[in-house]
């Protein structure tokens, strides 16, 4: 029997990309023309990244006085370099460095801009805040006084609510510590002391409200037994003595009523009835 699979000739393995053997234009042409996921395209990208890692390091070192570790900035810079490689069109020339440098620097600046926020703020609000700051500086010179929110809104052509959102976003740069005292007294309360906590009665109230929805569906005798057991704190023996029935019968009635209420609270899809 002929082995069909063995008889089919295997496709030749694409040769690996040698950075030393191909110039930038050839590598960029491979990236630009080959489909995403192609082995040769990935190899070309890797070769270009290795070739321009010194450019990434140069851009990252411009921010060496920042608290961010250089290695982290390098990783951010590589993201910008990859974006530049993927978006570069070799038809406009082969000077990748001139195109990649602002991409790398822009990615690093974006990293700083996003990471400075203590609380996540939407990008449109971040951008509006920058416009508001510039508008205030410009209006101070034109008006001779600190502009109001209404004046800034008219200057930028936005609503007053937009300006207020930007002002609130500006506050995240100066968060107050929850341990900061509210006054200079030795026993002054802290900001954290003024914050509300979880009320343990809230969950109990919700449970009671949920149970009361189905309470009237129970027979009057079972309602009376439950009230004596859980509101009157009576034992089953005391309830049986009061009703003139055995403790065992009280136990069965309690169990049946509680099972019914539990089933009702599982959700509206539960088709239950008390019998």
Q: What's the pLDDT tens digit per position in 198-210?
A: 777 777 787 778 7
What is the distance between the alpha carbons of residues 222 and 246, in angstroms, rounded to a whole number?
15
pLDDT average, residue stretch 18-46: 80
What's the pLDDT at 175?
60
CATH 3.30.750.24 fits 123-173, yes or no: no
What are the boundaries of each domain within the chain?
A: 17-115, 123-173, 201-265
What is the distance between the alpha carbons of residues 175 and 158, in angstroms, rounded to a whole number?
27
Model confidence at 115, pLDDT cuts 50, 70, 90, reads low
What is the distance between the alpha carbons of residues 52 and 222, in angstroms, rounded to a whole number?
81
Which backbone phi and psi does 245 adopt, to 5 degrees? -130, 170
Q: Which fold has domain 201-265?
A: Arc Repressor Mutant, subunit A (1.10.10)
**Coil, helix or strand at residue 181:** strand
Mean confidence (pLDDT) of the chain: 80
Provide Rg for the chain, Cα atoms.
36
In this prediction the pTM is 0.41
| CATH code for residues 17-115 | 1.10.1740.10
Do 201-265 and 123-173 fall under one CATH topology?
yes
What's the pLDDT at 1?
42
Question: Degrees (nearest 5) of the Cα angle 92, 106, 85?
Answer: 40
User: In terms of DSSP H, where are the helices of the chain?
Assistant: 4-7, 24-33, 39-51, 53-61, 70-87, 96-115, 123-143, 149-156, 160-170, 200-215, 220-226, 236-243, 247-265
């Amino acid at each position: 029997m002929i082995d069909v699979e063995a008889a089919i000739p295997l496709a030749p393995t694409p040769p690996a990309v040698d950075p030393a053997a191909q110039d930038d234009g050839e590598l960029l042409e491979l990236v630009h023309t080959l489909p995403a996921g192609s082995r040769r395209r990935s190899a070309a990208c890797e070769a270009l990244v290795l070739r321009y890692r010194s450019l990434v390091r140069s851009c990252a070192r411009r921010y060496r006085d920042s608290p961010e570790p250089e290695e982290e900035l390098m990783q951010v810079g590589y993201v910008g370099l990859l974006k530049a490689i993927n978006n570069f069109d070799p038809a406009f020339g082969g000077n990748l460095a001139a195109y990649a440098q602002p991409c790398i620097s822009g990615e690093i600046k974006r990293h700083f801009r996003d990471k400075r926020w203590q609380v996540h703020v939407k990008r449109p609000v971040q951008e509006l805040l920058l416009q508001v700051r510039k508008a205030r500086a410009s209006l101070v010179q034109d008006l001779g006084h600190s502009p109001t929110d209404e004046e800034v809104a008219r200057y930028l052509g936005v609503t007053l609510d937009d300006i207020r959102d930007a002002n609130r976003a500006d506050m995240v740069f100066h968060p107050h510590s929850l341990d900061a005292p509210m006054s200079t007294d030795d026993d002054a309360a802290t900001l954290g002391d003024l914050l509300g906590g979880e009320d343990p009665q809230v969950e109990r109230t919700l449970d009671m409200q949920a149970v009361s929805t189905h309470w009237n569906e129970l027979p009057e005798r079972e309602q009376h037994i439950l009230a004596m057991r859980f509101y009157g704190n009576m034992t089953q023996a005391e309830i049986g003595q009061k009703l003139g029935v055995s403790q065992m019968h009280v136990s069965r009635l309690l169990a049946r009523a509680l099972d019914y209420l539990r089933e009702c609270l599982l959700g509206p899809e539960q088709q239950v009835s008390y019998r």
